[in-house]
Each structure stands twice: as C-alpha cells, then as structure tokens.
Structure 1
C-alpha cells in the first residue's frame, strides 16, 4: 500500500483527478423500526470514495459507521430502511435501479468483509463451496471451474495449502484463517469496492497486521477502493487516505488522514484521541490519567436539537445546545462551533477539569541480534525485586488437555500443551500484565489462578498456601481472595437474573453475612464502581458494554479479594468506554490495595496498566520484566514483533512501519516445536534454537539464545532480514 495522502500511485492519482467518485452518499437517511419507536440511525450522511483510495470511517459504537456500510450493501437488519438520499455507485443511484440489477452490482462490483467471520460463514458448508458461491450465483460458473477459482483466490489472500483448506469447515480454522476466507469471498468476483467492517477487532495484533497488510496489497493488485470501518484510531492512522469521523448518525469531521491526526478540529475527535492509552504515557514512563468522555451517545429514537455531542463536550455553550451545526470548510471539514485551534497541541494530557458536561450517573465517574554464537541474557538493572512478599507465586505451572477423546469408544491421541512451565509473581498493589497472541495460553493461566481449572503440574501459591493441594471447603475459602473479571461480562451473567441477584450471588455462595449485610455490601459496591442504585432492578441486556463491565468489576469485588484476574476486560470496548474502565480499575487499586493480573493482547493497554509484563508464546513465558523496560527495550524477538505490530496514532502516519514481522500461523500446541517454540516463526533462529530450550535471565528475564541488545533494537528488522 502507498503511504496515505503523500505517495499515491500515479495511475490512481490520474483516476481520482480526472474521473467521478466511485461511491458517493448524498444526504443518506436510514431508519430502524423497533417496538419502542423508530431509530434514526443515519441522519444526512454524505461521503465520497474515489477510485483506488481507502476511506476510513471511525467512531464509537452506535455512531452509525456500520449502519452506513450495511445501507450501501443493502444488508440492513429487520425493520431497517433507507428513507432518503442517494447511494451513487459508478454514477448510478442504486436506490432508483431495478432490484435484480442492484443485486448483481452489489454481488459482483462490491464486496464486504464482516466483523466476525465465524458467524458470517456457514458452519455446515465447506470453505471451497462458500468462496465459490458468489461465482456460481452471479456469474453462472460451473462447479469445477468455481472450485479452481476459489483455490486460486485463497492462494492470493495468503491461505496456506488452499487446495486442502477448500475441503475444511469454518470451525477447523484459526481466527486469522477465517478472516482470510471472508476476504476471499468478498474478492472472488473482482469487485471495484471493498467494504471492511471492523475486520480485525477480534484478532491479536500480529494477525491484525497481517490482515491489514493483505488488504493493502489486494487493493493495489485489484485496483479497488476500500472503505475501512473501525473504532481503532491506530488502524485508521496507518491505513486510510482520508478519514470520516461519525457521531450519532452524522459525519462530524472529515479530512485527509495526515491532516486530521496532526490537527483534529472537532471536539469529539480530540476527545477520542485523548482517551487513547498512548496519549497518557509520557517519555519518562509516567502515566497521566486517561481522558474519559462523560455520559453516553444520545438516543436516536428521540428528537434532537443542536450539536449532538454537546451533552458530553467540555466546551459546550448555550449556542451549541440550540444551533444545528453542519460540516463547514473545504478539504478539512468539521461540524463544531468551537473547534480546536490549529495552534493547539494534538494530544493534551487528560488532567484538565471537565466542565459543562451532563454525565449519565449510571455510566460516568468524576536492538541488534547476535549473529555468531548464543549469549546469556544479561539482567537489566531494576528495583523490581524490592518490596513486600508476593501475594501470588506461580511456579512451573503446567496444563495439558487430552486430545482426540470425548467418548467411551474414543481414546485420547495426545496432549495439548496449553501451559508449559510458567512462573511469575505478583506483589500486593501491583499489576502484572500478561500478553501474547490468541492461543498462547494466557487465558488458561488466568483460569488456573482463579481455580476454574486444575493444573497438571506446578504450584499456585496464594498468601503462602498452595491452592493446587486444597479441596472442598478449604479451596473455596482460599479462592475468596482471588476473583476473575471476564472479557464478555454479558455472557458471564445470567440473563434471567437482575443486577441485585447477580451481585448478591457470590455473597450467598460463600455465606457472607445476613440479608441486611449483603444489601449494604451491594450498595457499597455500586458506589465504588460509579453506578446508580437504580440499576439493581434491571437485567443485563438493558446495559451498555461499559456499564456491564462495571457490574462485572463490582461482582469481582463482592468478596473483598486481594487479587483480581482481568481476562481481556476492555478488549471489546470503544476507546472512550475503555478509558472509563481503566481509570476505574486504577482508582480501586489505589483505594483498596488490589493486585491485578491483567491479561490482554493489546500492548498499549498493558503498557499503560502494568508495573511488570510477562510475554507468552505457545504456553511459555519468553520475556518478563518491568513494563517500561519490556516495551521500550524488548529483549526477545517475539516481544519486539508484538510491539512493532501495534497500530499507533501518529501525526505522520505510515502505511507500513519497519520492524520485526511474524509470519505464518501459530504452531499447534498438540505438537509444539522442539527447543525454542518460537523458532519456526523467528527471523533470527539458528540451529541451536531447534535442539536446546533457551534459558531465562534474572530480573529482566528473556528466554532466547540470541536476545536483542536494547541499545540497537531499532536495527532488528534489517539484521533479521540479512540473517
């Protein structure tokens, strides 16, 4: 892909300069009819996509970005209807064309990649049949020819062994492979426009980078335009030519990517940037408090006046509440009466007071590698070993699962090595971050620590007691001290129970206090997590994602634990809600002296939250050390590759950042590689890595025969390529 804005290929530039837009939305209105009323999901959206360019659409959940994509593709949910405006594709209004003609245009000339490929793929159909289906339906291609073209397109999207994959079912593939299948389905008819709706939200950073680079490459190969829909500002900064920021069903700012990230004008865009963890991490390693956008987006089923962001804006005036604001300007357009001044810094600290807001009480609260011989990993000076005795000590933890069993007549054919000799400590009041790709074993470690799984070997020592040796009442009593905060709070709650029963349940199971004491404890919990007492009579489906995570955090606090394991607790949240939850977790840590094991695939979040970080790969810890040293002076090639893969918001975004890139899929834990488990994907691997497991160091531990030297980590990519 070309770098946004500045290095557009000449042939694409000529098409843009001389031709009409490939896609143009004019005053688009979309309504969703519900029992409680009509939701005006889109209210006058105007967008333009030029041939060969990538347009990024960004905003919080409910902003209308996905509804815009579904309106273009004619895939609105039940009750949805485009009620006004035009959808011009290649100069023709799709709303005025016969249905059969529109169906063919949308099936052949447009393609769409959905957010969750597992739910968008048919679980009963083989991969080849699903990829070939658009060819057979829209182009009348025969079965054999369609299969061959399906294999070819799967090969072009980087699918390993496509001639075998075509006979697999979706559940047999990894998340990254399923996303490649979804991309192949969208591209098999060679469309001119590809709409990608949150294509990497559920993927870890290395797979995300592979998928985004694949879309970049295919855009150039097919000469198509891309509409990239996401809530991740880093993805937009690194990939899009132009950006449209949406809020409450409208476009509130649009500009070339570099211009928007150098100088955002709308106060909503500014607030989104200030909510990012990277904006609160200073050069000295100190953290400022994340800015948290107060309140919630407006209810689009009700009449709205004035600026729709006014109830949540720090700079709101009476004029904002009463005046309809439309996009103004040329090139860089915004709909704000009090825009950010051009001279203002792009990212300010979030410590300034919030004024004029009307927060909703239920939601808001105030190196170069060695190339000759392996070297020992030298410990990095640190004071990480000072301080109180650990509250948690995990020693040589092992968890294996039988593979191939599951019935009386089916014997296990092997073992899945999910966790293989993991050791770490957590001290009182400390946050230990655990990061790695999906399938690395980090969530299994969390489940072992809280007692949802029993280890195959090793020790989990909590306050001097080995939990793996306890049973019955003793085990249950000790596990009051450690609780789990789930990734999906809604799935972890009984949908038939009200919040009061959900919060009371752990107290009742552990027989803590009488009815009056439990009610008092529940009231105290709501105060701690910033929720109104009115929520007690409501059910889980009545809450937003941020509110559900607050309820989940309250439940984990019910038994007054000393340690909370957070398993991807903010991965499914918008950046603004993520900031609220992270701030709340840090406030409670300071107030209650909590310790956290914070599990995530997002290194920027872990860098913000953690005191120390452990990096996992295929069941093993490959690097452990103080957070600042691990992120800024990584010693293991895998850690450096994770850091290089993290999307970053920068005033000067680059299409591709140099650095270590991990290629290929994670090896099977059923038959992990010998020696160093990372060697099959490591650009620095040598013969010794195949036979001898690497040894860790001391304070800053690194399990690598060829650890990176901190002073020259920036040269890793070039050295790795030459190796």
Structure 2
C-alpha cells in the first residue's frame, strides 16, 4: 500500500522578475507522509528559498513566477494570509539555522512555547503547561520548571536548539522543515540534537525536509536526497545510492570537498615558538566567578599546525584569544620565542607583529567602511621602514597569494562572497609575514566547497611561508585533514594531546572517544562516491 503524498512541488520558478536570473528554476519534488529527504548544495543554490516558498515565507523582492506547490492536496498559492497562518506550525513546522535569532530575547521560554499551543489547539492553560513540561523533558532539558521561567540567553546553543525543536514538535506538524539546524553546534551536540530530532520525527510520523551543506548529516538522517546547483535540481535519488555512485559532476564535486585525512607530515622538532603555563581565567569575581581555564599548559612549535578541539564552552576560543593578546588571564604566563609576553617586556613588539588572528566570521571582523586594500594594509602601519610603494606591492602580493589578485583591492567587504571575505581575512593576517597565525573557527561559516578551498589555501600558504598555526575548531573532519598535532579540551582543561594519528586512531580519553564517535570516517566507494562509517564511542 502506497503512503499518501503530503507535498508536491511542480516545476517551481522563483525570482525577482521573469527577465532576471531565477533563484529557483523549474524544481519539482514529491514528499510522502513520514518520508525524510535532504536538500544539499552550496550557498546560493536555492535550497532554502525552495522550502521558504513551501511555507509562504519568501523574502521581499522574490516571488513565485511559475509552477505550483501543493500541501495535503491544497494549492498553497490559493491560500489567504489567514489560512497560511493556521497552516504554519500545526501543518508545517520550521526550525531555523540560528535559534538565538529566532527565539524572542524579551520573552520567557514558557511564553514562547505556549504561543503556538494557544493559537492552534483547544488546550486550556493547565493542559498547555503539562504538554510544555513533558516536551521539554523529552528534548533533554533537565529542569523544565526552571526552563519555562528562563530567557533564551540563559541557555547554551545546543539547549536553545533543543527548545526550538520542542516549540515546533509540540504542535505535531505533518511536515517539519529543518534549515541547517546544527551548523553552529559542536560535533557532540550536533549529533545529540540530530538524534533527538530523528527520534521525534519517528515517534510522530512526521515527514522531514533537512536542508544542509553537511553531506555526512544528510547521509545519516535522510532516505532520499536532492542536489541543487544554481537554482536547479541536478540529481535526485536514494541517499545511500547517490552517495556511493553519484551520476552528476556537481554531486561528485560536493563529495570530493568532504574533508579527508592527508598523509602525516614530518615537522622538525624545535624549541617552542609560543608557550603558555598554568593559564587560568575566570569571568566575574567573588562567589559569582565562573572559571573558564583551569591551569593550561601548551606549547606551539615553529612550522606546525596545532588543532585545538572541544565542545562549546570548553575554553578553546578563550585560550586562543589569550595567546593572541586579546584577553588577559588571571594567572599564568605566555612566552614567545622564550621571552615573557607583557607590555613592558622587550619582546612585546616582536610578539604583536608576529602573532596574527583569523576570526570565524569575516563579515563582522572586516571593517565595512574600508576597501580591501586598506584592510590588508592595516597591519603594515607599524612597519616604519616600509614606504607606501612597498606597502602597495605587499598588499597586491598577498592578495595574489590568497587567490584574489590586485583587481579586488578597491572593493568593499559587502561586494565579496563569504569565501572571498575569508581570503581577505587570511591576507590581512599574513601581510606582516607572521610566525604564528591563530585561526578561530575560520571555516565553520562556509559551505563545503568553499571550506575545502580555504583549507587547501591555508595548507599551501603554511607550507610556503612556514608559519605555525593554532587551528581552533569543533569540526573534527576538518581537523583530521589539516592538523599535525591535536589538543583536546573539555571544561577548561586539556583532556589529552598528541599527533593527529594518535588522537584519531588511538584516543585514551573517554571524552575524545565521544567526540570522535560523532564524526564519520569517509572511505572511497567503488561507484566513485563515498561510504560513511561511524566510529564507536
């Protein structure tokens, strides 16, 4: 007996005008009740816009130019705004990428969860409270009674995403759209959230559309997958078959961009370039102080890539900012080339010139009022011996090294793509030819193909220039590809450290094993694709 069709999209076209390039161009899909499909593709491929059309939430300036969307045999184009409001939540639920921006910071969690039940059900206040507390327990909130009185900022990213899932699943929608639901989460929390989402979907018989650029996630949690490129569906099929034997060149390109372990490099052992000893930091004071680092010891040697990994809240970014001189610790010492680092020491100027940082989000770390030329030249302003002609030459040289070229020098950040902005951020960090670069989640905001390009660029530049790199990341797949040595942090302490192969193949800490169990191993398949093998915890 065939499962009834829930959603039908037929030759949908979305765009600004009929003459402009369409953001979605002739895409069709059919989704049955209880089915789970994934939609993958690079940023700008149209995958999110496609599903926004389904729920009637297209942004201003984009409209439906052709095709139809039918949900439960109703043409969505014929529904009035009031009918759409009744359908959203109860019929179709949507989980957004970033819960902090989709939860109201001015309302308690209880009020926000109750709103949907009050609008879409006949429950009274007491029944709504019982349902909310039960769902919060189901999604893993330890103290639901306290949670309903709390505000979103009082929860971690993973807990906020669990609350978002609770708010959507409370209404038991027939269709759940999850748009990049775990992009901002670390590997362990990501796996936990997805397992929870999968279990709830199975319990309620909910159909799910998972929008993602994470092929490993899609492989684990969907039955069927659509691959989108520039607004067009280029390939569709059963998930396992498509991953093992992709037919379209673009699908093969996406799969080839997944991080893989490279052969181990040999780094000549030398005296440490930078060292921290007994590093401690706490936020606040007195009884309200929250300890973040608990006596960290770490060495970074010349020419090596040290990956600092751990879950959100482990202290890895805090440690990186201390090494970069952006935070002052409560206790401990930082040395650079064997000299203590403080503003009164003789080696401070050398340290500041030779320690540069690449931040996670280039859009917020690049001054929107400055041109690329000015941004990249900014670190050179303290080079008193460098004349203006030499500075322009260095800027052009560095822009060429990062794959942009001098033609980008007069553009503003908003005129660049995400990958191009990150290349500018790397160029700025390398303009002084530093000996140490700290990359804090430098590729986490990028889609898979751009991420692969930036990783190759970092490795190429590191091999050419020989700088040491502290690579801070929660993406263990990326770490496995790029790192020489891995340091695992958990709750402000170093759990273990060693060579990349030692940590990934022979971990000793139970926390490290838990981290690795959340990330699949990739092996080549006979059909030109990949097999995903999940490690045991």
TM-score range, shorter chain: over 0.9
Which one of the candidate residues 311, 330, 334 is aligned to 1:456? 330
What is the CA-CA distance between 1:100 and the residue it aligns to? 2.7
Aligned partners of 1:427 and 1:659: how far apart in 2?
32
**1:465–1:248 CA distance, 2 compared to 1 (3 A):** same
Which one of the candidate residues 15, 27, 31 is aligned to 1:31? 15
What is the CA-CA distance between 1:107 and the residue it aligns to? 2.9
**1:413–1:50 CA distance, 2 compared to 1 (3 A):** same
Extract unaligned runs of 5+ from structure 2.
none
Instruction: Encode CA deviations 1:535-585: one digit per residue, 9 max, x unaligned.
Output: 111111111111111100110011111010110111111111111111111
What is the CA-CA distance between 1:478 and the residue it aligns to? 2.2
Query: 2:76 is matched with which residue?
Result: 94
Query: 1:578 is matched with which residue?
Result: 451
Aligned partners of 2:126 and 2:20: how far apart in 1?
47
Query: 2:502 is matched with which residue?
Result: 629
Which of 1 and 2 has greater Rg? 1
Aligned partners of 1:29 and 1:138: how far apart in 2?
31
What is the CA-CA distance between 1:591 and the residue it aligns to? 1.0
Query: 1:397 is matched with which residue?
Result: 279
Query: 2:410 is matched with which residue?
Result: 537
What is the CA-CA distance between 1:19 and the residue it aligns to? 3.3
Q: Report the 3-state secondary structure (helix = DSSP H, G, I; strand = E; otherwise coil) of the residue aligned with 1:152.
A: helix
Aligned partners of 1:561 and 1:31: how far apart in 2?
46
Instruction: Encode CA deviations 1:201-220: one digit per residue, 9 max, x unaligned.
Output: 00000000111000111011
Q: Report the 3-state secondary structure (helix = DSSP H, G, I; strand = E; otherwise coil) of the residue aligned with 1:147.
A: helix
Query: 1:484 is matched with which residue?
Result: 357
Alignment of 1:224 onto 2:206: yes
Alignment of 1:156 onto 2:138: yes
Query: 2:118 is matched with which residue?
Result: 136
What is the CA-CA distance between 1:173 and the residue it aligns to? 0.7
Aligned partners of 1:187 and 1:649: how far apart in 2?
32
Query: 1:66 is matched with which residue?
Result: 48
Which one of the candidate residues 269, 275, 292 is aligned to 1:387? 269
Pairing of 1:21-420 with structure 2 (within 5 A): 21-32=5-16, 38=20, 40-139=22-121, 141-278=123-260, 281=261, 285-286=263-264, 387-403=269-285, 412-420=286-294
TM-score, normalised with respect to structure 2? 0.95
**1:415–1:511 CA distance, 2 compared to 1 (3 A):** farther
What is the CA-CA distance between 1:658 and the residue it aligns to? 6.5
Structure number having the greater strand percentage? 2
Aligned partners of 1:511 and 1:33: how far apart in 2?
53
Aligned partners of 1:19 and 1:423: how far apart in 2?
59
Instruction: Encode CA deviations 1:13-50: one digit per residue, 9 max, x unaligned.
Output: xxxx423311111111112469xx84521111111111
Instruction: Encode CA deviations 1:188-232: one digit per residue, 9 max, x unaligned.
Output: 211111110000000000000111000111011111111111000
Alignment of 1:422 onto 2:292: no
**1:192–1:658 CA distance, 2 compared to 1 (3 A):** farther
Aligned partners of 1:415 and 1:161: how far apart in 2?
23
Residues 238 and 653 in structure 1, CA contact (< 8 A), matched pair in contact too: no
TM-score, normalised with respect to structure 1? 0.71
Residues 186 and 312 in structure 2, CA contact (< 8 A), matched pair in contact too: yes
Q: Report the 3-state secondary structure (helix = DSSP H, G, I; strand = E; otherwise coil) of the residue aligned with 1:443.
A: helix
Residues 52 and 223 in structure 1, CA contact (< 8 A), matched pair in contact too: yes
Aligned partners of 2:140 and 2:385: how far apart in 1?
56
* Count of residues in correspondence between the two structures: 532
Q: Report the 3-state secondary structure (helix = DSSP H, G, I; strand = E; otherwise coil) of the residue aligned with 1:570.
A: coil
Residues 370 and 412 in structure 2, CA contact (< 8 A), matched pair in contact too: yes
Aligned partners of 1:573 and 1:637: how far apart in 2?
30
Instruction: Provide the aligned C-alpha RMSD in A.
Output: 2.1
What is the CA-CA distance between 1:464 and the residue it aligns to? 1.2
Query: 2:340 is matched with which residue?
Result: 466
Q: Report the 3-state secondary structure (helix = DSSP H, G, I; strand = E; otherwise coil) of the residue aligned with 2:464.
A: helix
Aligned partners of 2:420 and 2:476: how far apart in 1?
24
Query: 1:332 is matched with which residue?
Result: none
**1:166–1:272 CA distance, 2 compared to 1 (3 A):** same
Query: 2:536 is matched with which residue?
Result: 659
**1:435–1:658 CA distance, 2 compared to 1 (3 A):** closer
Aligned partners of 2:392 and 2:186: how far apart in 1?
40
Moved over 3 A (4+): 140-145, 469-474, 509-512, 647-654
Alignment of 1:440 onto 2:314: yes
What is the CA-CA distance between 1:179 and the residue it aligns to? 0.4
What is the CA-CA distance between 1:152 and the residue it aligns to? 2.2
Instruction: Encode CA deviations 1:448-484: one digit per residue, 9 max, x unaligned.
Output: 11111122222221111111x4338852442111111
What is the CA-CA distance between 1:266 and the residue it aligns to? 0.5
Q: Report the 3-state secondary structure (helix = DSSP H, G, I; strand = E; otherwise coil) of the residue aligned with 1:29.
A: strand
Q: Report the 3-state secondary structure (helix = DSSP H, G, I; strand = E; otherwise coil) of the residue aligned with 2:366.
A: coil
Aligned partners of 1:534 and 1:465: how far apart in 2?
41
Extract unaligned runs of 5+ from structure 1.
1-16, 288-382, 404-411, 661-723
Residues 114 and 196 in structure 1, CA contact (< 8 A), matched pair in contact too: yes
What is the CA-CA distance between 1:512 and the residue it aligns to? 5.2
Residues 126 and 167 in structure 1, CA contact (< 8 A), matched pair in contact too: yes
Query: 2:381 is matched with which residue?
Result: 508
